[in-house]
Amino acid sequence: MITPASDSVFMTFNISFGYFAGSNDYGKWQTVESTDGSGHTQTYDSSLMKEYGYTYKEKLYKFRLKPTQKKGIIFLKVLQEGKRATLYEYSQSGYKTVDDFYSFEKPDGSLLFLKSVDRLQTFRDRLAAFYGDTPAFIDFIKNKFARRGRIRDDVKTMMDFLNKE
C-alpha cells in the first residue's frame, strides 16, 4: 500500500475469493481490509491510501487512485505501465452488458478516456491524436481497432508498441 504521503507500507490484506472471480467491477476495488497480529481489523480507502497491490498466483495486481470520466477519482486497475504510456481499466455491469472503461496516461499526467462501446474509428482517431507524436505510431494505429471483438488485444498491442525501448 502507498499512503497519501507516498510512504510504502507492507501488509496482508483480507481478500475474499469473490475478489478474483472474473469480474472487473470497480466497486469491489475501492476498499481493502487488513487484520493485524492482535486481531484488530482496519478498512483502508482513498483517504488512507493512493495505491495498493497484491500478488495472486504469482501475478502482481495494482490499483491506483485516478480520475475517471464519470465516476470521479477512484481506484483503477493498472493493466500495463511503461515509460510512454500507462493503461488503467474499470468495468461496469449493466442489465445485459459489461462496459470496459480505459484511461490512458502519459508521463506528464495527461489522460485520455475511452470505453469499449465507443466507435472503432473513435478509438483510432483519439489515440492517434493523444499519442501520435511519431509517424511510426500513426502508421501503426491505422491498422488497429478494425473489429470490436479485438479491442482488448489491440489495446495491449498498442501499449507494447508505445512502451518498447
Return the C-alpha cell found at 56: 495472486
CB 66 within 8 A of CB 90: no
Grid coordinates representing 37 are 497480529
pLDDT-based confidence at 94, cuts 50/70/90?
A: low
The distance between the two most distant Cα atoms of the chain, rounded to a whole number of Å, is: 59
Separation between Cα atoms, residue 36 and residue 13, nearest integer Å:
10
- Round to whole Å and give the CA distance between 32 and 24: 15
Cα 101 to Cα 116: distance, rounded to the nearest angstrom: 6
pLDDT tens sequence across 146-160: 888 888 899 999 999
Q: Which is nearest to 127 in space by CA: 151, 147, 150?
A: 151
141 found inside a domain: yes
HSE (side-chain half, CA atoms, 13 Å) at 13:
19
Total-model pTM = 0.81
Averaged pLDDT for residues 107-134: 91
In a domain, 32, yes or no: yes
- Residue 71: the pLDDT is 74
How high is the pLDDT of residue 25? 56
Look at residue 16 in the predicted model and tell me its pLDDT: 59
Among 19-23, 65-69, 96-100, where is mean pLDDT lowest? Answer: 19-23
Provide the number of structural domains found in the chain: 1
Predicted confidence at residue 21, as pLDDT, reads 47
Average pLDDT, the chain: 83
Q: Which amino acid is at 83?
A: K
Q: Kindly report the number of other CB atoms within 10 A of residue 6's CB atom.
A: 8
Q: What is the pLDDT of residues 24-77, one digit of tens each?
A: 555 666 777 887 778 888 888 888 888 888 888 888 889 898 988 877 888 889
* 155 inside domain: yes
Give the domain range for residue 144.
13-163
In this predicted structure, what is the pLDDT of residue 7? 84
* Predicted pLDDT at 10: 79
For residue 24, being part of any structural domain is answered with yes
Residue 8 in domain:
no
The rounded distance, in Å, linking the Cα atoms of 138 and 125 is 10
Domain-embedded: residue 6: no
* Cβ atoms within 10 Å of 45's Cβ, excluding its own: 11
Q: Where are the beta strands (DSSP E) in 30-97?
A: 32-35, 41-44, 51-56, 59-67, 73-81, 86-93
